[in-house]
Chains A and B, each alone.
Chain A
Amino acid sequence: MIYKRKPVDWIFDILNYTVMVLLILVTLYPFWNIFVSSISSSAAISSKGAMLIWPEGINLESYQLVFKNPMILSGYKNTLFLVAVGTSLNMIMTVFGAYALSRKWLMGRKYMMLMLTVTMFFGGGLIPSYLLVRQLGLYDSLWAVILPGAVSTWNVIMMRTYFMGIPDSLEESALIDGANDFHILFRIIIPVSTPIMAVMILFYAVGHWNAWFSASIYIRNQELFPLQLVLRRILITGARLNEFDLGYISGAEKQIVFKGLKYATVIVATVPILLVYPFIQRYFVKGIMIGSLKG
């Protein structure tokens, strides 16, 4: 007998769709909550707390404050530097590493691979790494954030797997023309690997944008704070206003505008992620598949 839909199936479907709609609402609501609060008047926020569903006294004063604040501006600048320089360095290292490890004829390849895989299981830990960074004289510079994370072993292995799947015949024709490995890598391998390149760039760039921990332990100079550290100050370490640079606003007003500023800063720090998210989402999921199926 072939199965026929029963009432219990309909009930299950209705419940299931309801749960999913709830999931969407629960996931998006906090962002909506912050968005409507950020465009509300500071008077409304300070008397009522965050707006629940709709904004009140719509205006952009909080955003004006954000873009006038020297700390947030320098935070943005530092984060952009970290994303641009950090991601470029990550990509160069990852591509070089992956290319070398994907050459099947390369003498010593096994040992090179071993050198990488060991680090996936063992590491020095927090303090030895911290002391080393200080020893190298990187303390209190953005390089302390960039260099210790210059390569992600997992990404190298993922890209290597991709490179190894490229047919050898493509390179052989180039070899006959006397091309060296740099030519092969840049003229042949990279042009046919755009999907994985996109995945990696997005992986690394989002990682740099969101990172805060190493900056928090290596950077003391406030002018070098990346955006996330500024955010942490505003959102988490609490509203110690005098410590936070709102010098151009009078004392009594500070407390009132601070909350609005908080919400607007979250939006300003998150919007870039939301803008690239559609691309990320498509490529990241693909990336995970590549990693889990072949890796």
Chain B
Amino acid sequence: MSQAEEETQTKNTVAHKKKFTFQDFKRGLRKGKYVYLMFLPVFLYYLIFCYLPMYGIVIAFQDFRPGMDFFENAEWVGFKHFRSFFSSPIAFKVIKNTIVLNLWELAFGFPAPIILALLLNEIRCSWFKKTVQTVSYLPHFVAMVVIIGIVKDIVSSEGLINTIRAYFYEMAGGDPSSFKPIVYLNEAKYFRPIYVLSGIWQGIGWGSILYLSNLASIDPGLYEAAEIDGAGRFRKMISITLPGIAPTITIMLIFAVGGLMSSGFEKLILLYQPLTYGVADTIGTYMYRTGLEEAKYSLSTAVSLFSTVINFLLLVFVNKFAAKVSETSLW
């Protein structure tokens, strides 16, 4: 195709785009009529269950009381609920707890699947590797209620941990009748370790899939070349494997750091109790309790909106930072 021809063609398409008439619209509608029919329920779903609730956020700026109609315009009160949240001491507490719990996750939960992937990568026996993978994915599919039930059972006063402690207590010559079991879930200092460890137990295998698929795409020629140069296994791990998955780690890190203020509450509300609120009460659980247990709908929505906005800003900020220092970013 000559350059002149190419130019006329571009002109044609541009011209074609410009004259999108009512006729074209009708033709497009007719051509796609069955497809639009298929899309209709999907459209309605998103309109009703995603966009209407977004409109519902307005109640964060209103005094919405229980029993009012969803579409009813309650009295506008501006930032009253935001002010009342931030002026109460609980705001500082739940924000701090959210960040600390997420930092624990970041410090222990984040590296765990990466380490597992690196270790699995060193296993040459393929049936053994597959067995480890299959077993380690399993807890991901077990219901959260069951997982928390198991955790509660293990750390209960007559559960596995206390049984083991009692055993060592007796071994050390202690009198069995004077053994005091620890009720782990009643003590604030054990809450974060239990939360994070159970998270690792449930998620380590599933989390490693991403890194493993990444490892599989590293060019085997690199390893061969390194071996010829006399590189040992640790050398290869540091010089080839880690750089190979570094972009993925960066992206996951962006999400993790961007989510420092976010707070999933489904697991927390199964695991915490008033005795451990001091460390376990986070933005998410506070929002859940004020909203659904105390029916302070406007306050809860205000807290939720605050956390959404902060999370979004944090993600954008962290992403910018990552783009600057590592050339890897989400967008």
Contacts and interface: CB of A to CB of B under 8 A. Distances in A.
B95 interface: no
A242 interface: no
A266 B39 contact: no
A27 interface: yes
Contacts of B149: 231, 234-236, 262, 266
A126 B153 CA distance: 30
Contacts of A228: 143, 145
A165 interface: no
A250 interface: no
B42 A96 contact: yes
Q: How large is the interface on A (under 10, 10 to 19, 20 to 34, 35 or more residues)?
A: 35 or more
Contacts of B266: 213
Contact of A1 (B32, B154, B163, B230): B230
Interface in B203-251: 204-205, 209-210, 213, 227-228, 230-233
Interface residues of B: mostly helix, strand, loop or mixed?
Answer: helix
Interface stretch (B3-11, B48-56, B86-94): B48-56
Given A124-B53, A132-B53, A212-B145, A34 B131 contact: no
B128 interface: yes
Interface in B124-159: 128, 131-132, 134-139, 141-146, 148-150, 152-154, 158-159
Interface string B43-79: 1011011111111110100000000011100000000
| Residue from A97, A121, A274 whose CB has the most chain B CB atoms within 10 Å | A97
B154 to A, nearest CB: 7
B139 A103 contact: no
B41 interface: yes
Contacts of A147: 49
A252 B152 CA distance: 24
B201 interface: yes
A128 interface: yes
B28 interface: yes
B301 interface: yes
Contact of B34 (A181, A209, A274): A181
Contacts of A292: 210, 213
Contact of B146 (A129, A180, A235): A235
Contact of B148 (A3, A131, A210, A236): A236
A130 B158 CA distance: 39
Contact of B145 (A93, A232, A289): A232
B191 interface: no
A131 B298 CA distance: 11
Interface string B16-35: 00000000010011011011
Nearest to A102: B35
B160 interface: yes
9 contacts: A24-B135, A50-B159, A96-B38, A108-B28, A115-B43, A128-B53, A128-B301, A217-B292, A289-B213
